[in-house]
Amino acid sequence: MSQKSPADTTVIVGLSGGVDSAVTALLLQQQGYRVEGLFMRNWEDDDSETHCTAEEDLADAAQVCRTLGIPLHQVNFSAEYRQQVFDHCLQEFEAGRTPNPDVLCNREIKFNAFLEHALRLGADLVATGHYARIEHGSGGAELHRGRDTGKDQSYFLHLVREQALAKTLFPLGELEKSEVRRLAEDAGFDNFEKKDSTGICFIGERDFAEFLSRYVASEPGDIIEPDGTVVGRHRGLSFYTLGQRQGLGIGGRPGSSGPWYVVDKDMSGNRLIVAEGHDHPALFADGLVSDALSWINTPPQTAELRCQAQIRYRQPAQDCLVRSAADGSCVVHFDRPQRAVTPGQSLVLYQGSHCLGGGIIRQARRRQHQADAVPA
């Protein structure tokens, strides 16, 4: 953390064109920092809709900088994004897993490429509009949940390295979203009512399956129940995720008593496994196996750790026991079975508000009778 006074500290804010990063710049300026903005282009393709959205975001970022009287830099990280985020995501989709590109983008782009570029521009620190908090203790910069529990984004930041957090400010960590919009309106920002961005960053508001089909081949196969009964056809396992309800094309079957959900994928047999009912037992797992964990601060010195975990964004933290395995992976046992434990998604560990780190889910650990339910 910089030891300079705010007046002698240059902070470059990653301005996305949204209201959160705009208010981040406003608050830092009010706190006396020398503030500059930087607009990142992280995705480019031949889609005119995407291009128009980026230009609108740039215009909003420029209006914020004019209002605050600060410079606006621009940089294009689309090549880095394709190589370090998008290509990895395609590999995961092709393997039947469901990746979380926002997590990888934060580690590789926003808190690596952006940070390094900002330092070259003369920044002492960087800042973003994430709803999270950084506390500095004996173990270095710690990542903590944002005060607004409905907007807390620490889940997406769990792979950011401690060295990067030490050079980062999150001014929105103490605020509610409603307060952020009020501050933006009072400041005269045009984007104070702008809708929050949703969906995967490189897909945006477009149809997911249509976009993915440009890059991943479709390999149709059977949709089956856990007992092996064929109930339909899928377009390719890459296009589905565990817990998915929409887009299965098997609703309204005779004798059907409720909606169908994806409960598993048989990769070797190219079969999508579904079951009826939101709370079908096949959707639940007692635990999971993850790839090697990434710890933000000093790793625990014990083989077992009691903590809380999230396996999806905005999920309430779940009590669990984490055990390290000899191959560097970890096994997590939940106190209560969890729904739709999805390979490729993030396991994020907490102790209270403190985000410890996390890893990528490799597989769910189900009760034995559930694992044996699908015929070979």
CA–CA gap between residue 326 and residue 311 (Å, rounded): 23
Other CB atoms closer than 10 Å to residue 98's CB: what's the count?
20
Q: Which residues lie below 8 Å from residue 9, measured CB to CB, with a gap of 6+?
A: 2, 33, 34, 124, 125
Contacts with 191 (C-beta within 8 Å, 6 or more apart), sequence order: 17, 18, 19, 22, 60, 63, 64, 184
- Name the one residue in this structure whose structure tokens are 């990769």: 267
For 63, phi then psi, to 5°, come to -65, -40
The reply to whether 105 belongs to the active site is yes
Q: What phi, psi does 15 have (nearest 5°)?
A: -95, 120
Contact 262, 96 (CB under 8 A): no
Q: Which residue in 274, 266, 226 sits closest to 247, CA to CA? A: 274
Is residue 164 within 8 A of residue 112, CB to CB? The reply is yes
Instruction: Give the separation between CA 119 and CA 167, rounded to whole angstroms.
Output: 10
The one catalytic residue in 105, 307, 330, 355 is 105
In 3D, which of 62, 310, 357 has the Cα closest to residue 54?
62
Query: CA 370 to CA 326: how far, in whole Å?
Result: 26
Active site amino acids: 105, 201
